[in-house]
A and B are shown apart, each in its own frame.
Chain A
């Protein structure tokens, strides 16, 4: 503005008022009665600009609302003392960020904003702009806390703006950090070797220097979902902080709520959600394309028990996708949207003494948020608890913390809060009473009779019911319109004597076959995987899939058979399967033996773990075939596929391959590990495993 040379031109100090009243101000009337157009234009423009400038001086325009404490704008004060700044502005929480691409900075901003909800005042700070040596002085501020959001860059390095902090931490030994309360959240990426090195370093180093860790190091994985990691960590962090400082969350109950309850006693039924995942009525009127937001209702055409005996229930289902235009490939996953057990939902309604069939809506109090409701609204509590909310997993600590206020017994309240805190006793109590005992929300309500939260708050706190994924057990070449599932029903007795059942597997088990009278449907969609047969049929494949891990290989075997029928030359197809007893749970025995007979399977190896004194698993059979396998892998370019249990089986099988490489290829353990790692990188060793 000051550039516009309004003031270098001699001007008449005219103001609007004067002009409008008739007092003639001395207007230079020379030989030309009128100014030239350009003169007039410039003249009045200058006046206008002056008036505008004048007016804007009087009323300074408000800077666009900075609701967030985004100190992204350069600080006008040259103050590099964050202690002084905190004292001056009454802050007790400071969130430093080591950020390269802005994610850590964003998290830092969100955390500093959060502080308010818990009766504290926070600010985000760039360590590059402050004198970090002041960290040892943080104790001067009462109830102070330093949070560090540290991203790791490159080969385990600090981000540019955290370089100085890093250097300083390394060099300084003699400061007294006992007054410093801190927590660290690290941002990294698991595909890199030095995963979260910076976060881990800061967390460890501050402890070494004598500072007090208030909450566990959080690790965000950008290869997975760093946002989710952050949110989960944050949800447990704040309750722990409140516990530590003995601080109560600000204000009355409703200020902690994110959503506001609204009831709809007279609403038209056509406007109410009855379990749809996406668009209203999308389960009545189905429109392709079908995906996670718009699942297809596939009817169940087959649902049979796979095992001949034993107390588990293994099942084979077939879903009809005719007319859906859905395409899949063997190795892909089918995702299904299950519903909770009706009895469980009813019990919840009873114990909370509510009418589950009122139509309600939970509306976000934050207008700016993209998430208007926690689940599709308006709907009934019954629908929410059945279709939209997870009521079977043990609740997380933040849920306990927020519900504590509803326990009328002070001892119960104390225990709830304790379990949400980061104290060792609290953690142990939570581990013991909630996790080890597998208590779900109903169990907690039953075992803590004084705890009676309002159902709407509970609905706000419970996580969403997730879709479940199953490896497809069919080949689209052979079954283009049918998707097969192989699964085992999850059911177990808990320490409290209750029986917990898996949501999706129980729901699938109870799906009746569609026949003339009755139509049973499963809302589903396909998630493409990268678990694929080789492009060339001549490539040998080695498949290892004990138990329900056999699923994708049924698809692979069907496809190899189909290729053979097309008179294609098909390479060796080797199967390693394992189960407990030959006469009980040898899944797909007929199909597998048939495939062996017709030569589709060039080798079928089955381990029956409990049919003899000592345990026999697939990895033992692998070792038995080491010569043949080594030839296929090292010479014939075989692709290896593993499917099933991640924790033990996958690891044991990998070890077996190391041993084979060592014994047959003369390698050391290091070399064999490298060899297998290379096979993985080149896509010749694929895993579809679950824990």
Chain B
């Protein structure tokens, strides 16, 4: 297949070395400039565990919450800058925007009152603040954030969807995973190619392009901080949920407060208020109800006997 170079004297042979290894295209600069930090992100404990299907529902939900605040901020800034020459070519609201899908996912996980139940974590807030800052002060850097998140969602993000669906036994009809489903994108591959061509159409000098790449690295770092935060939270959940055991336990759905053993353990570690909590937890559980009824009957019997 490899033909000999067809070069006559007038045309210099194509020099791969010089021309293409220091690319000027923003898409290539971004890919090269974030390669290292991308690997680092892939290798955080949180992501590694996730890919193996080791993701607890509670953490997944908190992850969705973090994503919600992130995308809400980013898409707000995108709307603000949709006609700005440094962002307009990348304005694809119908294809890309996620905050509505995320809101639906959160409603699925937390119920209709989800808005009052979720809050923005510390790391997420840092990320969100930065997004608002660039959106208002230096919109070209918004490109870096959009690139980092959206391109990721359309690539590895699709793998995460399958993992999550299986690991969390989410319904095949897609609830809880709408974030990962890009309704208006038929081919992720073709869309990424289009997106890259649009990034390259931005008229930017080399200095600015370098700043965009640096901001993308920052974006990765913000994401990793959110992962680490989730990992920390995960450690505190870990013990109780994994130790939990009652016969015929059934699926608690990872909701710690429902686990009677968790409450019992709390009770052991102190305070009569926890005994109450334990009792309440027991009452919610069907076997707890049986026990309660039994106890009540016995108590009634005792009282009757005593009083007679």
Q: Report if A683-B194 is in contact (Cβ < 8 Å); known contacts: A19-B301, A61-B247, A528-B95.
A: yes
B10 to chain A, nearest CB (A): 9
Flag if A683 contacts B197 (CB, 8 Å). Answer: yes
Flag if A528 contacts B246 (CB, 8 Å). Answer: no
Q: Which residue of B lies closest to A333 (CB)?
A: B186
Q: Which residue of B lies closest to A535 (CB)?
A: B89
Question: Does B166 sit at the interface, judged by CB under 8 A?
Answer: yes
Count B interface residues, CB 8 Å: 66
Q: Which residue of B lies closest to A18 (CB)?
A: B301
Q: Which residue of A lies closest to B183 (CB)?
A: A291
Flag if B305 contacts A22 (CB, 8 Å). Answer: yes
Interface centre among B14, B95, B158, B167 (most CB of A within 10 A): B14
Flag if B191 contacts A530 (CB, 8 Å). Answer: yes
Flag if B248 contacts A44 (CB, 8 Å). Answer: no
Q: Which of A394-402, A403-411, A611-619, A667-675 contacts B (4 or more CB under 8 A)?
A: A667-675
B283 to chain A, nearest CB (A): 12
Question: Does A682 sit at the interface, judged by CB under 8 A?
Answer: yes
Contacting residues, chain A, for B28 (C-beta < 8 A):
682
Q: How far is the CA of A3 from the CA of B247 in the complex (A)?
A: 11
Question: Does A532 sit at the interface, judged by CB under 8 A?
Answer: yes
Flag if B291 contacts A49 (CB, 8 Å). Answer: yes
Flag if B14 contacts A530 (CB, 8 Å). Answer: no
**Which of A45, A528, A680 meets B295, CB within 8 Å?**
A45
A161 to chain B, nearest CB (A): 11
Flag if B5 contacts A48 (CB, 8 Å). Answer: no
Flag if A682 contacts B25 (CB, 8 Å). Answer: yes
Residues 33-44 of A, flagged 1 when their CB comes within 8 A of B and 0 if not, give 110000011001
Size class of A's contact patch? 35 or more
**Which of A535, A669, A671 meets B1, CB within 8 Å?**
A669
Contacting residues, chain B, for A7 (C-beta < 8 A):
none
**Which of B193, B197, B200, B295 meets A44, CB within 8 Å?**
B295
Question: Does B287 sit at the interface, judged by CB under 8 A?
Answer: yes
Q: How far is the CA of A666 from the CA of B306 in the complex (A)?
A: 107
A189 to chain B, nearest CB (A): 9
Q: Within residues 171 to 190 of chain B, which ones have a CB less than 8 A from any CB in chain A?
A: 172-173, 184-187, 189-190
Q: Which residue of A lies closest to B25 (CB)?
A: A682
Q: Within residues 78 to 106 of chain B, which ones have a CB less than 8 A from any CB in chain A?
A: 88-89, 94-95
Q: Report if A103-B173 is in contact (Cβ < 8 Å); known contacts: A45-B295, A671-B14, A682-B25.
A: no
Question: Does B290 sit at the interface, judged by CB under 8 A?
Answer: yes
Question: Inter-chain contact count A-B, CB under 8 Å?
Answer: 146
A365 to chain B, nearest CB (A): 19
B140 to chain A, nearest CB (A): 15
Flag if B305 contacts A101 (CB, 8 Å). Answer: no
Question: Does B11 sit at the interface, judged by CB under 8 A?
Answer: yes
Flag if A223 contacts B294 (CB, 8 Å). Answer: no
Flag if A101 contacts B159 (CB, 8 Å). Answer: yes
Q: How far is the CA of A48 from the CA of B287 in the complex (A)?
A: 11
Flag if A666 contacts B7 (CB, 8 Å). Answer: yes
Flag if A683 contacts B186 (CB, 8 Å). Answer: no
Q: Which residue of A lies closest to B261 (CB)?
A: A3
Q: How far is the CA of A143 from the CA of B290 in the complex (A)?
A: 51
Q: Within residues 254 to 299 of chain B, which ones have a CB less than 8 A from any CB in chain A?
A: 261, 264, 287, 290-292, 294-295, 297-299
Question: Does B196 sit at the interface, judged by CB under 8 A?
Answer: yes
Question: Does A20 sit at the interface, judged by CB under 8 A?
Answer: yes
Question: Does A10 sit at the interface, judged by CB under 8 A?
Answer: no
Question: Does A47 sit at the interface, judged by CB under 8 A?
Answer: yes
Question: Does B302 sit at the interface, judged by CB under 8 A?
Answer: yes
Q: Which residue of A lies closest to B172 (CB)?
A: A370
Listed from nearest, the 9 A-B pairs whose CB atoms lie closest are: A683-B197, A102-B166, A535-B89, A48-B294, A530-B190, A683-B193, A667-B14, A666-B7, A530-B194
Question: Other CB < 8 Å A-B pairs besides A101-B162, A539-B201, A682-B28, 13 of them?
Answer: A19-B302, A19-B305, A40-B302, A47-B295, A48-B291, A52-B294, A61-B247, A100-B52, A530-B190, A531-B190, A536-B201, A666-B13, A682-B193
* Residues of chain A at the chain B interface (Cβ within 8 Å): 1, 3-4, 16, 19-20, 22, 24, 33-34, 40-41, 44-45, 47-49, 51-52, 56, 61, 64, 100-103, 106, 160, 191, 222-223, 370, 527-532, 534-536, 539, 639, 662-671, 678, 680-684, 686
A-B contacts, 28 listed (Cβ < 8 Å): A3-B245, A20-B301, A24-B305, A34-B306, A48-B294, A51-B294, A52-B291, A101-B51, A101-B159, A103-B166, A160-B52, A528-B95, A529-B190, A639-B197, A662-B3, A664-B11, A665-B11, A666-B11, A666-B12, A668-B14, A669-B1, A670-B1, A678-B20, A681-B193, A682-B25, A683-B193, A683-B194, A683-B200
